[in-house]
Amino acid sequence: MKRYLAEAGKKIVLADRDPSDTRAFDGGKEKGLKALQELNVELQELQELLYAEHRHRVLIILQAMDTGGKDGAIRRVFDGVNPQGVKVAGFKVPTEEELAHDFLWRAHKVVPANGEIVIFNRSHYEDVLVVRVHEYVPESVWKKRYEQINSFEKLLADNGTTILKFFLHIDRDEQKERLQARLDDPTKIWKFRTGDLEERKLWDQYQKAYEDAINKTSTEYAPWYVIPANRKWYRDLAISTILVDALKGLQMKYPQPEANLEKIVIE
């Protein structure tokens, strides 16, 4: 999965990244879904260990164009995990209270505590993406935010947070198909907003904004992964593989039990 890592200090070009790439797994969709089930079992065990040890914290950031699959990835990657130790934080239009604070305030108050996995469905990166594309603030303001984001994430990492950032990369044709599928499906049409079409017109501007954000904020302590997301099964498999490997790398252990438990007899 290192092929999807945006290495710190090395610029990536999104146009050079194939959203339909499946090269890291050559078994096809059927075997891929089976492998995903096996990874899910591993993730359940590792998440229980994370919660029990109560030492490490994990922050997962998901960003994507509209229909990129953030919700679907959360459902499938975390299927069956204990909800006691996993939380999802959504970042929509800022509230009046949030706008009254610095742009990182709403992110900082929902970062993971010891033993927790927190998933950001969108994130503080909206303030160098949507804000930039729609010119909600001057360029002189949003340009400073890359450095501020790096400092914020360094603070989290220095205090024991493992940060994994995923850009779910789809192409324009795939987005068209997914938007049409929403219109055609009576169980999904409620998700469709006419504003989605206006955002689609800004595709190139968003691609440039994402590219800059990834290049300026992919660090060793908070790396970005550009995940091919045209194939949903492969998207989920890639995220699961990277996450499971990261959790294994923490070398966690269950806490020691109380002393003299062997003497207890339950009647």
Q: What mean pLDDT comes out for the span 93-121?
A: 97
> What pLDDT score was predicted for residue 220?
97
> What pLDDT score was predicted for residue 262?
84
Judged against a pLDDT cut of 90, whether residue 26 lies above it is answered with no
Contact of 115 with 52, CB cutoff 8 Å: yes
Judged against a pLDDT cut of 90, whether residue 47 lies above it is answered with yes
Q: How would residue 112 be classed by pLDDT, with cut points 50, 70 and 90?
A: very high
Classify 36 as helix, strand or coil: helix
Do β-strands 5-6 and 224-228 pair in parallel, antiparallel, or remain unpaired?
Answer: antiparallel
Q: What mean pLDDT comes out for the span 13-27?
A: 94
- Supply φ then ψ for residue 149, to 5 degrees: -65, -45
C-alpha span between 36 and 27 (Å, rounded): 12
Sorted by where each begins, the domain ranges of the chain are: 2-250
Judged against a pLDDT cut of 90, whether residue 155 lies above it is answered with yes
pTM: predicted TM-score of the whole model, two decimal places: 0.96
Q: What mean pLDDT comes out for the span 180-199?
A: 94
Q: 245-264, pLDDT tens digit by residue? A: 999 999 999 998 888 888 88
> What pLDDT score was predicted for residue 39?
97
Q: Which residue has the higher pLDDT, 244 or 263?
A: 244
C-alpha span between 60 and 48 (Å, rounded): 17
Closest CA relative to residue 226, chosen from 159, 178, 166, 143 = 166
> What pLDDT score was predicted for residue 97?
96
Helices marked H in the chain — which ranges?
Answer: 28-53, 70-77, 96-99, 105-108, 130-133, 139-142, 145-158, 172-184, 195-200, 203-217, 232-248
CATH number for the region 2-250 comes to 3.40.50.300
Closest CA relative to residue 62, chosen from 75, 51, 71 = 71
Closest CA relative to residue 44, chosen from 121, 143, 146, 117 = 117
> What pLDDT score was predicted for residue 1?
87
> What pLDDT score was predicted for residue 243?
98
> What pLDDT score was predicted for residue 130?
97
